[in-house]
Each structure stands twice: as C-alpha cells, then as structure tokens.
Amino acid sequence: MKMNFQHTLAIAILLVGVQCAVAQKKDDTIGTEVVNVVKPYTPTISDAFKVKETPSFDDEDTNKKEAIQYSIFSFPVASTFTPSKGKAAGVDKSAAEKLYGNYATLAAGNYGTINAELFITENVSNKDYFGVMLRHLSSQGGIKDALLENKYYNTSLDATYGSKSRKLSWNADLGYQNQIYNWYGLQPDTFDQTTIDAISPKQTYHNFYLGGRVAVGESVFKEATVKFSHFWDAFSSGENRFLFQPQLEADIMGEKLKASFVLDYLSGSFQKQYFDLEGIKYGFTNVGFQPSYQIKQDDLTVNLGAGLFYSVSNEANKNKFYIYPQINATYKFVGDLMIGYAGAEGSLKQNTYHDFVDANFFVSPTLGIAPTDQKYDLYIGLKGKLANAIGYNIKGSYSDEANKALFKSNEYNAQNTNLSGYAYGNSFGVVYDNVKTISFYGELKADLSKDVAFGLNGTFSSYTMGTEAQAWNLPAMKLATTLDFKITPKWDAGYSVFYVGQRKDQFIYNSLLVNTIQDVNLASYLDVNAHLNYKRNERLSFFLKGNNLANQKYQRWMNYPVQGIQILLGANYKFDF
C-alpha cells in the first residue's frame, strides 16, 4: 500500500511540474520580484495530518476498470526431452504361502495316547467337489486311583460331495462314528475286590448319519437342510432322528422378511430301566414355524419374530402348543466402537440320547428323554472395540427353562436286579426341573501385534431351582484365557487355561444295612494346556502339546478323576495329488 501512495505522489508532482512548465511557456512577460520573508514558518501539530497507508479514491476515473483484451499467438515448439518412467517404491513382501488341499496328522503321547487325522478334498470339476475326513483319538487309560478299566477310543469317518454355483449350491453328507468308554467312576471304599472284579464297565456307541443341504441364489427359497441319524449302543439301545429345516427370505419395502420351518421327528428305546428289566420307549414329533421381520433405520437394527411349535408325544399320546418370543435389536452408539444389543428369545429344544452322550460319556442307557421348554432368555449387552485391535463383549441375561435336563449320579442299590456295568453308582442319569438362571458374561480379545493374540472370557451364573435341591453339575463360574504368539517365522507357541468352579452332586447308597445320601461338592479345578509348533517347510511341521500341565487330580464328574500331565508329540504333513 505504501508503494501505491509513493507512485501516486510522484505522478502528482510530475503533473504539477508539467503544468508550471506549460504556464511559463504561455506567458513569457512575467517579471522577477523579490520576496522578503519577515518571519520563518513554524508549523504546529494542528497543521499536520497523517498520511493514510491505504488512501481512498472516490473519483470515477480511479475506480473505473480498464477493459483489457488478451490474444495468444501459439506455435509448436519441437522438444527432444523424454521423461523417464516412474518407479514404485520397493516394498518388502513375503512370499505367498502355498495352500494344500489335503493333510495328515499323527501324534503319540503318554498314557498310550494316539491322535490321527486325515483330510482329503478334491475338485471334480469347476463346480463339483468331494471331501473325506478321518479322525481317531484313543488312550489306554492308566488313571491313578481308578478302580476299573478307563481306556477310551473315538473314531469317526465323514464324507461329503457337493456343487457350488451362483444360482445353486448343494452338498450330501455321510458319516459314521464309533466310541468306546468305560464306567470307571466307583465310589472309593465302598465295594470289595470280588465285586469290583465282576464289573464289566465297557460301553460302545455307534452313530450313522446321512444328510444334505441345498441353497438357491436370488430366490425366496434361501436354503434347506435335512439329516437322518441312527444312534445305538452295546446295550440294545437305539434312536432314530429325522430333522428337516427349510428357510425362506424376501425383501419387502427394503426390509427383510424371514421364515424358517422345523420338522423334528425322534423315536428311540432302551432295553431296560435302571432298577428293573422293563424297557423304555420314547418318541416326539415337533413342528415349528419361526417368522421374523427385520427393520433397519440408521444405526438401529431390530428383528421382530416369534416361534410357534406344536409338539406331540408319540408314546404318551400327548400334545402341546408353544409360543416363544424371538426379538432382538442392536444399536451402534459410536460406530463399531460401542454397539448395544438386547433381546428376548425362546425355543423348544428336543433332547436326545445322542446329545446326552456327547455331553457326558458316562450316562446310563436308562434315560428319560423329553424336550426342554426354553420359555425365554432376556439379555442385554454391549460390545465393540476399545482400540483397533482390542474387542470386548459384556452381557447380562435372565432365562427361564421348564423341564431342563440335569446330569445326576445314579444311586447304588444292593437289591437292584440290574447287575449291568453301570449299576454300581458309577453312571449318570438325567433329572428334569424348572430352572431360572441369572448369568453375566464378559469377553476380551486383543491382537497385541500381528504375531500375538490374546483372549479372556468368563461366565458367572446363579440358579433358582423348582423342585431339585441343587443345580446338579452346573458350575457357578467358568473362566478361560488363551494366548498365541509367533516366535520366529518357523516357531510359534501358545497356551490356554480353563477354570471351572465348584459343582454339586449326590452319592446314594442303599443296602439292607446301610442307607446313605451324601451331598458331594466337586472341587473347582484349573486346567493348563500349552502347545509349541515348528514349521519345517511348507509341507511338514511338528508340534508338541501338553494338557493338564498343573497335574491337578480334579474330577470332571463325581468319582471320575482325569489323567495327570499329558504330553503329545506329533507331525502334520500337507499334500496335493
């Protein structure tokens, strides 16, 4: 702004000079005159004014903008310059690991433990494939203080054949499983050696299944699954189950409408009851319809649904209709960092002999089979991320279940005419009761780095019983933690620790002279496990596993102590045909 003022002042002085020059030129007759200054000029402050740094211009000539026209005269200029091609910055990239479709695993350890797996898969065409999976786990027992044989075997073979395409996907499954276990859990100091030697505690389970799944793309019919299984044991027990579950899905006004159907048929029998030789027969047909409607609005997602079930007891000629809420909602408070969720859900659960065996290998083949009425499960929780690599989930719930199945030790009665290997108080039956449960669950998962992953979770429960004195064999506390880390590109390791709180059971002994009912507190236990892996190359790796490293002599079930420190050494080999 100072420069503009200086330029203006210079122009003004120049114009005044020009005017004076012109005036003198026009009147050459002007004479000279002498002027005598009587008093020199002495300026005062009031006579001075401050020059503005930004002078104002009010005249039209100054404000008027001159129109300027530009013209460009362009002509080509030859150039010999050739720019060099740019290069991307170098990035250290690890070589992609080759994926193999098949693998074989073989391991052996103390207690005569053998673990073997074989998985084979092959693409028949661009769409069709098949796979075969063979698993085997066995141990020769050797549990300290066990009075009966305690070895076990578990072998299964599964096969599948399927096809995948955008419009249609399907697969057919076939499998067989064989399991051998022993009822070795005798009450100490109760039986003489002659009685113990006469007990044959071996039990064998068999399971054969055939099933399939079909899914249709871009159709109201989403998918359907079907499965038939036949389960039997060494005591002439048998069970057949047929399960068919189709699902429909459609978009209505931008929202999803879903509907699933259930047809569950169960029929089975046991050769005799626990206290006499009369057989047991059971059978149920459950038909269910579960519609739901999904509403999405901004960060809120709500699923409104219900479960309608009609159950028929084929042997008792009884039937009952059930209605359950199936409502849940999620709301994103802060994106993926904080997501609230809540729900009220219920369903009809069909209990089976096969399911009970999977949960407890030492049940007796004299069970009462009935469905559980899961009236509702009310829950509210919060999940999300504390940081990019740390996730959390906390949940509180209140559930009400009618006819909930609980495992309880069978009593020993010296007058019992059933002298099978499970009738010495060394097996478990099932009792049903109405159970209300309050539980709190918390989980934390963290990827501390690309080479370290950590997890921690816990469940705390409180039970209110209807008629039973205790929530038999249900723990009030369960904790678990895991850590996996990579030591070098070829070495990795990890551990897992499980804590299970106290449980309660009951030992009942009846004879002509003694009648004993003893409540038993099963002590809490800590199970520490660890593994170490070495990758020899892309195909071959070796591993070392350790279970129950704290060498705790805990009992998972009453009078069923577990093996001590277990070490397993093995190798895994990947291959293609």
What pLDDT score was predicted for residue 317?
Answer: 85
What pLDDT score was predicted for residue 463?
Answer: 98
Residue 183 pLDDT > 50:
yes
Q: Which helix (H) or strand (E) holds 81?
A: none
92 confidence band (pLDDT: 50, 70, 90): low
Lowest mean pLDDT among 49-53, 420-424, 519-523: 49-53
Angstrom CA distances, 121 to 65, 152, 179, 212, stand at 83, 29, 25, 17
- Least Cα distance to 566 among 531, 538, 514, 516 occurs for 531
85 confidence band (pLDDT: 50, 70, 90): low
Residue 177 pLDDT > 50:
yes
pTM tops 0.85? no
Residue 55 pLDDT > 70:
no
Residue 549 pLDDT > 70:
yes
Residue 22 pLDDT > 70:
no
What are phi and psi for residue 257, nearest 5 degrees? Answer: -115, 120
What are phi and psi for residue 221, nearest 5 degrees? Answer: -80, 110
Lowest mean pLDDT among 330-339, 361-370, 414-423, 475-484: 414-423
Average pLDDT over residues 167-177: 96
Q: Name 268's bridge partners.
A: 239, 282
pLDDT digits (tens, 9 = 90+) for 348-406: 999 999 999 999 999 999 999 999 999 999 999 999 999 889 999 999 999 999 999 99
Residues 551 and 566 sit within 8 Å (Cβ to Cβ): no
What pLDDT score was predicted for residue 283?
Answer: 97
Strands in 388-451 per DSSP E: 390-409, 412-413, 428-449
- Percent of residues, the chain, with pLDDT higher than 70: 83
Give CA–CA dist 358/237, Å, rounded.
16
Average pLDDT over residues 434-442: 98
Residue 532 pLDDT > 60:
yes
What pLDDT score was predicted for residue 84?
Answer: 54
Q: Is 498 helix (H, G, I), strand (E, B) or coil?
A: strand
Higher-confidence position of 84 and 518: 518
Higher-confidence position of 51 and 508: 508
What pLDDT score was predicted for residue 330?
Answer: 97
478 confidence band (pLDDT: 50, 70, 90): very high
Q: Which helix (H) or strand (E) holds 63?
A: helix 60-63
Residue 79 pLDDT > 60:
no
Tell me how long the chain is: 577
What pLDDT score was predicted for residue 52?
Answer: 39
Q: Name 570's bridge partners.
A: 107, 543
| Residues contacting residue 120 through CB under 8 Å, at least 6 positions apart | 101, 102, 131, 132, 133
Residues 221 and 246 sit within 8 Å (Cβ to Cβ): yes
Average pLDDT over residues 412-419: 87
341 confidence band (pLDDT: 50, 70, 90): very high
pLDDT digits (tens, 9 = 90+) for 29-43: 444 444 444 444 444
Residues 213 and 244 sit within 8 Å (Cβ to Cβ): no
Residue 345 pLDDT > 80:
yes
DSSP secondary structure letter of residue 127? S
What pLDDT score was predicted for residue 34?
Answer: 43
What pLDDT score was predicted for residue 519?
Answer: 94
Question: Which amino acid would we find at residue 35?
Answer: V
Higher-confidence position of 165 and 88: 165
94 confidence band (pLDDT: 50, 70, 90): low
The per-residue pLDDT of the chain, averaged, comes to 86
The separation between the first and the last C-alpha atoms of the chain, rounded to the nearest angstrom, is 85
Average pLDDT over residues 45-72: 40
What pLDDT score was predicted for residue 467?
Answer: 96
Angstrom CA distances, 147 to 196, 403, 562, stand at 7, 35, 13
What pLDDT score was predicted for residue 95?
Answer: 60
What pLDDT score was predicted for residue 90?
Answer: 55
Average pLDDT over residues 500-522: 92
Higher-confidence position of 63 and 262: 262
Give CA–CA dist 162/157, Å, rounded.
17
Average pLDDT over residues 196-215: 96
Q: Name 34's bridge partners.
A: none
Question: Which amino acid would we find at residue 4?
Answer: N
